Structure 1
Amino acid sequence: MGLWSIRRWTRARRKATDRPPVPPLTTHQLWMVSLSAPVSRDRGASRTTLYPFTRADDDGARRWLAEQWEITSRDGLADRLDELARSGYRARAQRLLGVSPLAWDAALYVDISRRGFAAGMITEGEAWTALKNIVPAVVSAYASWQEYADDYLLGRKVWKDGLDGTPDAPAPQTTADAHLRALLDPANRDSPWNLAPWDTISHPDRAR
């Protein structure tokens, strides 16, 4: 199985009422989930659990995947994740700017994986496998959440510029900037980046 591939993941069937109580994440798990924190701006988003919402909303996850990414099946999920892993928006950034902002694609990859879990397209174990697979590339590319945030904003700008003049206008750049400042604020006790500092992933995993 390739580094990013989910082609051999077993078929998942799950309902919202079947979801067991959510156990606390380990330090490594929280760090991996935190890779998607820049795109988790919604009021109902959870930034400290694998499940992406504070309340059960499996149908909402399915709708979002279909409307935003045209993902309606496990194969569609696999195709989209493979695309983000292999080239994503950083391929366009490389052509236009000569840089390759992995953080933007990594944040989207983790976000989509979490929503795929919520939608019942993959199991909890499969979702963690997907997140673990991105760790080596991200750790080798960045040395801090600040570096990750800076590259994320660069990737978002390339994506946003590509949408200018279309009906799908994204949130203003100032909104993304403010969200990232809050995540990086050392006084923000709710920030997952403060709960799981960058070097967390380089130390042995432990319960929180």
Structure 2
Amino acid sequence: MIYHKYENPDGLNKRQLWLIATSAMLAQTNKERHDTLLPHGNAGTQTQLESSKMALKRDYDIEDLTGMADTLKYFDEIVTFKAFQFQWEMKSDKEFKAFSGINTIDKSYPNVVDMVQKYQFDLPESDQAWHYGRCAWLIRHAFFSGFIKEGEAWQLLEENAGRIREIFKSWERFGVSYIAGAQYWKRENYTEHAISSYKRNLIFLLTNKNSPWVQLGWGISGGISN
């Protein structure tokens, strides 16, 4: 796979680049730039623009700043895998085995039980990066689609990043939490293959010289502005 070079063609400051980097897991999935606010830089095509607009309207009901704000609020409040972690965090192995054997209509239930047992002590951040990482990506695409202005995009990215900074202490923890969210989302297809692409993206972001996470330390989130 050919990756975009990390060049910062628009001369953004480190704080701005860090805000963009919070969208990196999904941006990497879609082969988008990590060093420009616009997902494709200034090279975005009409086809890409139409695809972006259609996805925002169809999947998230985003057509303006109000829609974007409502989506951010929704992802901030929605409870998914974290609810199961909280409910079962102190259960014993015997209890987990009993849970797995419960006969329910929801065939993904045993897979969720297995996730909680595996992550109950090792993933206190749960799947929250899955929500906030996608929010950052949506903000970039809302700007690309013309639904919000550039200043509004930066402000929304900053607000979303504030939630991220409260929860996570490193890019690695952020990325692992994102994968947990993807795993929960694909819980009906509970296989290694189902989340293999997310793992490849995480390895790239933690090791490749063209990764924003390699270029920018997590500490920049604390207030460095240039």
Contact 1:143 1:198 (8 Å CA) reproduced: yes
The whole-number CA distance in structure 1 between the counterparts of 2:64 and 2:10 is: 27
Cα distance 1:151–1:49, how it changes in 2: closer, same or farther (>3 A)? Answer: same
What is the deviation of 1:44? 4.4
Q: How many residues align?
A: 173
Report what 2:98 is aligned to: none
Report what 2:149 is aligned to: 123
Report what 1:172 is aligned to: 194
CA RMSD of aligned residues (A): 2.0
Report what 1:60 is aligned to: 51
What is the deviation of 1:141? 1.2
What is the deviation of 1:153? 1.1
Cα distance 1:43–1:205, how it changes in 2: closer, same or farther (>3 A)? Answer: same
- TM-score normalised by structure 2 residue count: 0.70
Which sections of structure 1, spanning at least 5 residues, go unmatched?
1-21, 166-170
Q: Deviations over 1:63-100 (max 9, x none)?
A: 22123324344433332121012x23xx1112222264
5 Å matches for 1:4-23? Answer: 23=10
The whole-number CA distance in structure 2 between the counterparts of 1:204 and 1:191 is: 19
Query: Rg: which structure is higher?
Result: 2
> What is the aligned counterpart of 2:218 among 189, 192, 198?
198
Cα distance 1:201–1:95, how it changes in 2: closer, same or farther (>3 A)? Answer: closer
5 Å matches for 1:120-159? Answer: 120-159=146-185
The whole-number CA distance in structure 1 between the counterparts of 2:30 and 2:67 is: 27
The whole-number CA distance in structure 1 between the counterparts of 2:68 and 2:30 is: 25
The whole-number CA distance in structure 2 between the counterparts of 1:74 and 1:96 is: 33
Residue 76 (1) aligns with residue 67 (2) = yes
Residue 96 (1) aligns with residue 116 (2) = no
Report what 2:120 is aligned to: none
Runs (4+) of structure 1 exceeding 6 A deviation are none
Which protein has the bigger helix share?
Answer: 2
Question: Counterpart amino acid of 1:179?
Answer: N
The whole-number CA distance in structure 2 between the counterparts of 1:65 and 1:95 is: 27
Contact 2:64 2:148 (8 Å CA) reproduced: no
Contact 1:27 1:201 (8 Å CA) reproduced: no
Q: Deviations over 1:151-170 (max 9, x none)?
A: 11112212222xx37xxxxx
What is the deviation of 1:181? 0.8
The whole-number CA distance in structure 1 between the counterparts of 2:217 and 2:164 is: 14
Report what 1:111 is aligned to: 137
Query: What SS is found at the alignment partner of 1:172?
Result: helix
